[in-house]
Chain A
Amino acid sequence: MNGEVIIPLLLFLVIIFFVGFYASKHIRSTSNFLQEYFLGSRQLGGFILAMTMTATYGSASSFVGGPGVAYTMGLGWVLLSMSQLATGYFVLSVLGKKFAIMARKIRAVTLIDFLKERYQSKWVVILSAASIIIFLFSAMAAQWVGGARLIESLTGLSYTTALFIFAVSVLVYVIIGGFRAVAITDTIQGVVMFLGTLVILIGTIIAGGGIGNIISDLTAENPALISPFGSDQSLTPLYVSSFWILVGVGVVGLPQVAVRAMSYKNSRGMHKALLIGTIVVGFIMLGMHLTGVFARSVLPGIEVGDTVMPKIAMEVLPNWLAGIVLAAPMAAIMSTVDSLLLLVSSAVVKDVYLNYVKPEADDQRIKRFSIGVTAVIGILVFAMAVNPPELLIWLNLFSFGGLEAAFIWPVIMGLYWQKGNASGALASIITGVGSYILFHSFMPNAFGMHTVVLPVILSLMAYVSLSLITARRHEEVQAKVYEKLWSA
């Protein structure tokens, strides 16, 4: 592998390091360590908010896995991926102001802080923290594996060395810089993702001799490639539509996304983020997946989907430009991993340690503990990713949909339905995660829809019915919660 591809990647890593050091200054000077380290002191402006949301959400699958599937399935998969456009405006509209205002009333730093105040239940806190720690830990490890594989394939280094480089670069800036470092690096990574998409799309169209030419190539190979039903006719309208739940509206329930909805400074920032986020998500998803489809005409016969992106970048772009474009998937992976790392760490420190182990810890102690925990989790993930155990791979399958099914209703109903109570939330979390695992194992894609759909419906029913049945029992607590969270 030649140096011209590697130099842009290295340059990218160096810039990211500097951001970490810059952000660590804020941590030293802050008066409230927890708010700064896990939430950037709620100071995010619109552009950074949009970018950190997009970049956190856009992961290895948007840049490597997704385009690989699009290569095999054709335009139908691009259609499916466009269901993600909704994340850009829906999450911020729905969580948006309500969450920002409530979180400030109770000074919540994490999603679980909010659930704790809203439901006043130890079990809700423990179950939520456990789901976050278990699922996001495995999701994170899976992303690290992806990151290391990417570096491996680009540089020719061994897998373990590649993993080590990846781990060290992420750990340094997250540990010393906290949320602010994560948000700023996410912004840089988001810009890299955006430009990378633009360049590779244009490069592929030119290499294929124009869109018309590419499409007629594809039609000649298999007309179904340009139909909405996929190359093997397997994409039914119902199945494709069900992705609106998984990767569209359901994203509201992802803790790493939800926590960002309480990190912004003011409503002007939120409005701006809503706009920028929609445009950036729309462009990246359309561009990357379309590139995957077009790549089929330029480089036919690629067997392994995950290698489509690196191969097409090397094929259609000059080396130095390919280096910049390939920094995009790396940026996508890093920006997802950094947020997950911090979130898992906040669940351990804030939600478990400070709530139940040592509530009286002083600032200095919290600071040392947070940085220590973040480092230990990082090292644990590294150890897991060197040789990923079966259990972890299994857990990762549920991390996205499982978390959505667990949290979507406790969060949304918690914000908008005053009668929702602790029993409802508990039932919803248990039903959501439990039925997700069951459906996934025994009845995947039940009734032709993605597995996530039924658990989301079941957990809503559990939430509403249990909240109504137990309304009497919770009456007193609910009145207090109502007054605290809803009063002017």
Chain B
Amino acid sequence: MRKTKRFEEDARYRVANREALIGVVLVMINFALWFGFAYGLGSKPVEEYSYIWGLPAWFFYSCIASTIVVVILVILAVKYLYKEVSFEEEDEE
């Protein structure tokens, strides 16, 4: 905001900002899967539904399979994208 910065910005914020964006991307993927399967497969007449494990296919994919996919994505994101940063230094002042 100022023309000349008189101090270094906290480097940990770069990590934090990136992870916030990852969170937003995850929500968008989650929403797309949920919406796409539910209304993509579920909008036809009920007589034409197909079933998986006894459940209507739209429900199986949008509420069960997508949930599992999102959980896997969260696991991968936490494992490979989220970085550990220390909070300690601030505590010890």
Contacts and interface: CB of A to CB of B under 8 A. Distances in A.
A282 B71 contact: yes
A101 B55 contact: no
A135 B54 CA distance: 43
A241 B27 CA distance: 12
A109 to B, nearest CB: 14
Given A97-B16, A100-B87, A274-B74, A215 B42 contact: no
Interface string B60-71: 001110010011
Given A83-B34, A282-B71, A219 B46 contact: yes
Contacts of B70: 85, 89, 278, 282
B59 A266 contact: no
A487 B56 contact: no
**Chain A at the B interface: SS class:** helix
Contacts of B38: 79, 228, 237
B74 A215 contact: no
A94 B20 contact: yes
A389 interface: no
A226 B1 contact: no
Nearest to A482: B1
Given A90-B27, A212-B51, A419-B1, A278 B71 contact: yes
Contact of B39 (A105, A213, A237): A237
Contacts of A244: 27, 31
B13 A101 contact: yes
Interface string A263-289: 001111001001100110010001000
Interface string A473-488: 0000011001100111
Contact of A279 (B15, B42, B71): B71
Contacts of A78: 59, 63
A439 B59 CA distance: 32
A482 B8 CA distance: 11
A93 B10 contact: no
Contacts of A488: 7-11
A85 B30 contact: yes
Interface string B9-29: 111110111011011101100
A89 B26 contact: yes
A214 B54 contact: yes
Given A228-B38, A416-B20, A271 B84 contact: yes
A448 B13 CA distance: 39
B56 A101 contact: no
Interface string B40-56: 00110011010101111
Given A286-B67, A488-B9, A97 B85 contact: yes
Given A241-B35, A278-B71, A486-B13, A104 B59 contact: no
Contact of A215 (B19, B51, B82, B83): B51
A230 B71 CA distance: 27
Contacts of A311: none
B24 A227 contact: no
Contacts of B55: 211, 215
A223 B63 contact: no
Contacts of A482: 1-2
A94 B23 CA distance: 6
B21 to A, nearest CB: 9
A104 B12 CA distance: 13
B74 A275 contact: yes
A288 to B, nearest CB: 13
B7 to A, nearest CB: 4
A171 interface: no
Given A79-B38, A237-B35, A90 B85 contact: no
A385 interface: no
A223 B2 CA distance: 62
Contacts of B47: 223
Nearest to A225: B46
Given A211-B53, A487-B7, A286 B19 contact: no
A13 interface: no
A86 interface: yes
A98 B17 contact: yes
Given A226-B49, A271-B82, A282-B71, A93 B23 contact: yes
Given A82-B63, A214-B54, A487-B9, A105 B90 contact: yes
B10 A487 contact: yes
Contacts of A228: 38-39, 42-43, 58-59, 62
Interface of B: 1-2, 6-13, 15-17, 19-20, 22-24, 26-27, 30-31, 34-35, 38-39, 42-43, 46-47, 49, 51, 53-56, 58-59, 62-64, 67, 70-71, 74-75, 78, 82-88, 90-91
12 contacts: A75-B59, A82-B67, A85-B30, A94-B20, A94-B24, A97-B12, A101-B85, A223-B46, A226-B59, A266-B88, A282-B71, A487-B8
Can you list the 8 inter-chain pairs with the closest CB atoms, starting with the nearest? A93-B23, A211-B54, A212-B54, A223-B46, A98-B16, A97-B16, A228-B42, A104-B90
